[in-house]
Structure 1
């Protein structure tokens, strides 16, 4: 368990989520119920009613652990963890004593706003720097995390006006991944592989964002966002990399990414 925060390994939250991804018989629905039971116990343990600024250790731990466990879980085994996130965000938690919704200040309401999940996902995405000397383990954890965030985005709805309406939507990091891979002077293999994972697991969302020209108002004036010219340039960037890397794993990721691009273009570009 050395890959996890030693302070969280002894917690019930860790046992629930780690068991979810390691026990074939564990279900997302059961994990959700166990977390809701922990949440209710925590609420009732407080002397005062939570109000709108309840400081939930359970919610914080769960959101940290979702990201940490995803980083240590292969994409093919992340399905139940994604189901857990999708299911728990549909639950509104009420204080059993008052019937009022439980809020956590800037983190919104339990569990519909997913507490600090988005913040921890953003921290993970922003913490990785592309270079030429990643250890195999660091690269594996980064790619596991990227696959999870991309799959989360694929499970979220993209609105026609391009406004973010879903706490599982991390499309902006797909944009950054493709920018880093195909629009920077120095091209790193890790950046190309990251972009491939976004196309493999969230090509449909990426294309929808390009079709609606989604822009993020993070700067004034806003930086260039998604658009179809970029989509086609990214695709050509992938084609150019096919023969650029000798290792079979990178070539395989590029091949699969191009297959997914062709598939979603056939489905969604008229």
Structure 2
């Protein structure tokens, strides 16, 4: 998927595209070193620098197929093991979070990418800089997963959704699940993908949408099944209505991940494997159901 000129011109984006093509340990260490230097040079504008850099990372993720994303995930993990020293000799920080250890504002950029609606009250974080805060009514629409049932979406856009979902899932697989604030924990995004695929009432002619929704949900069973299941056994709830059930399960009091919901997703995959005319999606759905049953 093509990126806009502003992102393409970023030093971070150019480094990342070269790094992905290199695929060797030296390239990893060189890129980590370069990112540390770029952050140090941007100390006075670190907030804008991080926002741009994270957008570059996600832009590359959108362009990279799931099976080729491991180097990008490795890079982020390696960055988190590094700390940038500020001009005062102390660790460089933004909002009390250390660069790169805590990946300050990384989650905010991700939320922005998943916000396909005009508003979301989830962006109203008390500690979020005003330039990124949406001041909207409390009853505004929720932050949602990319609309898989949008018939106007191009094949390129749908491919980018799959790549982005796989990237978030692979990060989640490496998250510290005991810490809900871990910047790698995108388990809520996995819930959104599975909810979109299996919990919402859809029109009879929504077969194409069901196909892409199933593919998106499938990425989470491939790359983050163990993490999502672990959180389901611990009944991980999310804030507000972000983890609420879809319309098919409106009578449930679900607020996040739990074992009953996990079983409903297994049933959803199994149903799609039998009902879809797309043989590839049928096979993926069957595989996902079996993976989830194995726990």
Smaller-chain TM-score bracket: 0.7 to 0.9
1:145 counterpart = 2:136:
no
Tell me, in whole angstroms, the C-alpha distance in 2 between the residues paired with 1:38 and 1:85. 15
Task: Give SS of 2:83's match.
Answer: coil
Does the CA contact (< 8 Å) of 1:217 and 1:223 recur in 2? no
- C-alpha displacement of 1:192: 1.9
Correspondence for 1:100 among 86, 90, 95: 90
1:166 counterpart = 2:182:
yes
Aligned residue in 2 for 1:131: 149
Aligned residue in 2 for 1:51: none
Tell me, in whole angstroms, the C-alpha distance in 1 between the residues paired with 2:238 and 2:10. 38
1:178–1:11 Cα change, 3 Å: closer
Structure 2 unaligned regions, length at least 5: 117-145, 245-252
Aligned residue in 1 for 2:137: none
The aligned length equals 249
Q: CA RMSD in A?
A: 2.3
Tell me, in whole angstroms, the C-alpha distance in 2 between the residues paired with 1:79 and 1:183. 30
Deviation digits for residues 60-83 of structure 1 (CA, Å, limit 9, x no counterpart): 222111111100100111011001
Structure 1 unaligned regions, length at least 5: 47-53, 266-270
Aligned residue in 1 for 2:109: 120
Tell me, in whole angstroms, the C-alpha distance in 1 between the residues paired with 2:7 and 2:267. 44
Aligned residue in 2 for 1:24: 23
Tell me, in whole angstroms, the C-alpha distance in 1 between the residues paired with 2:108 and 2:254. 22
Moved more, 140-149 or 177-186: 177-186
- C-alpha displacement of 1:219: 4.6
Aligned residue in 2 for 1:253: 284
Tell me, in whole angstroms, the C-alpha distance in 2 between the residues paired with 1:248 and 1:28. 39
Tell me, in whole angstroms, the C-alpha distance in 2 between the residues paired with 1:77 and 1:92. 27
Aligned residue in 2 for 1:193: 215
Deviation digits for residues 152-188 of structure 1 (CA, Å, limit 9, x no counterpart): 10111212xxx50411100011112222211111173
TM value normalised by structure 1 = 0.84
